[in-house]
């Protein structure tokens, strides 16, 4: 996964190099969203987990280098329950933070599909327990579509993002975890 992220970052920087030479202004975007989270927790063999989809919300910022490339960061929060013989019934909360390279494909200043990949960290905590948590590296990836009026600083976006990380050291849970978050929100662009 790290090779894919590094490759995407290198491609985005190469893609951005020519337009950056002639660009006189950068822009900053701030965003906020809400949505749903669908976890896929991997339990010990023999478990039959029951997953609960739950809420997610987050906010972030992006430095737009040109109309096609941005560096972005995000902080997201989710919470959901899972029950299985290996762990019983538990509620888990997660805090995700990451940085990524985003490549945008504007279509006539109205619709802008985009894709991103990056790295960060996730803090997983058992709800109701102050001491029961882990912090682990995570890969962050996804894409979406932003819609705005030509020249407007505000855009509405829909996004599908994934987080992949390890939960070693948590009794009853093994391997790579994959959380899928689908959300909608607003972006606001500020010229620098």
Query: So where are the chain's domains?
Result: 2-16+25-191
Mean local confidence (pLDDT), 86-111: 86
pLDDT in tens, 61-85: 999 999 899 999 999 998 877 666 6
The answer to pTM > 0.85 is no
More confident residue, 7 or 136: 136
CATH 2.40.160.20 fits 2-16+25-191, yes or no: yes
Q: How far apart are CA 101 and CA 126, in angstroms?
A: 31
Tens of pLDDT along 130-154? 667 888 999 999 999 999 998 899 9
Of the candidates 39, 52, 74, 78, which has an alpha carbon nearest to the alpha carbon of residue 157? 74
Interatomic CA distance for residues 93 and 179, integer angstroms: 12
């Amino acid at each position: 996964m790290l090779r894919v992220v590094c490759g995407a970052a290198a491609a985005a920087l190469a893609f951005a190099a020519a337009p950056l030479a002639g660009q006189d202004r950068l822009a900053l975007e701030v965003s906020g969203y809400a949505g749903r989270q669908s976890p896929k927790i991997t339990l010990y063999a023999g478990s039959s987990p029951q997953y609960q989809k739950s809420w997610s919300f987050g906010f972030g910022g992006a430095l737009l280098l040109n109309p096609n490339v941005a560096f972005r960061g995000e902080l997201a929060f989710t919470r959901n329950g899972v029950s299985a013989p290996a762990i019983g019934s538990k509620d888990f909360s997660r805090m995700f933070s990451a940085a990524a390279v985003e490549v945008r494909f504007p279509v006539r200043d109205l619709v802008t599909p985009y894709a991103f990949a990056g790295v960060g960290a996730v803090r997983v905590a058992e709800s109701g327990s102050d001491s029961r948590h882990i912090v682990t590296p995570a890969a962050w990836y996804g894409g979406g579509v932003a819609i705005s009026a030509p020249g407007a600083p505000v855009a509405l976006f829909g996004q599908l993002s994934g987080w992949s990380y390890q939960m070693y050291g948590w009794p009853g849970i093994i391997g790579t975890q994959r959380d899928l978050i689908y959300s909608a929100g607003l972006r606001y662009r500020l010229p620098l």
